[in-house]
């Protein structure tokens, strides 16, 4: 991992922000779809997979939020 004190070049900040925004949109779709599947009462053998998808997507949302915070600090 890069040194946290290094600055992100200003010319790539807009592209990184756009990518983080697009990733947020994609993750929100996964989170919502997982929720809807869980509410539909999937068979017992599928519930474990739904929980795994939900946990992984929540982890990814957290990582993306941290990335967006770093990008905000460099604005």
Walk along the chain (75 residues) in steps of 10 and give the mean pLDDT of each run: 70 95 97 96 95 97 97 87
HSE on the CB side for 40, CA within 13 Å? 11
What residues contact residue 37 under an 8 Å CB cut-off, 6+ apart? 50
> So what's the pLDDT on residue 8?
87
Residue 51: how many CA atoms within 13 Å on its side-chain side? 6
Give pLDDT, residue 4.
59
- State the pLDDT at residue 3: 54
Contact 31, 57 (CB under 8 A): yes
**Global pTM value:** 0.82
Instruction: Check: CB of residue 38 under 8 Å from CB of residue 54.
Output: yes
- State residue 40's pLDDT score: 96
pLDDT score, position 6:
74
24 CB-near residues (< 8 Å, 6+ apart): 61, 64, 68
């Amino acid at each position: 991992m890069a040194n946290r004190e290094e600055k992100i070049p200003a010319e790539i900040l807009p592209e990184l922000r756009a990518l983080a925004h697009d990733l947020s949109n994609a993750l929100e779709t996964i989170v919502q779809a997982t929720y809807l599947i869980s509410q539909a009462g999937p068979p017992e053998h599928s519930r474990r997979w739904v929980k795994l998808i939900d946990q992984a997507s929540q982890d990814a949302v957290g990582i993306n939020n941290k990335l967006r915070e770093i990008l905000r600090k460099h604005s």
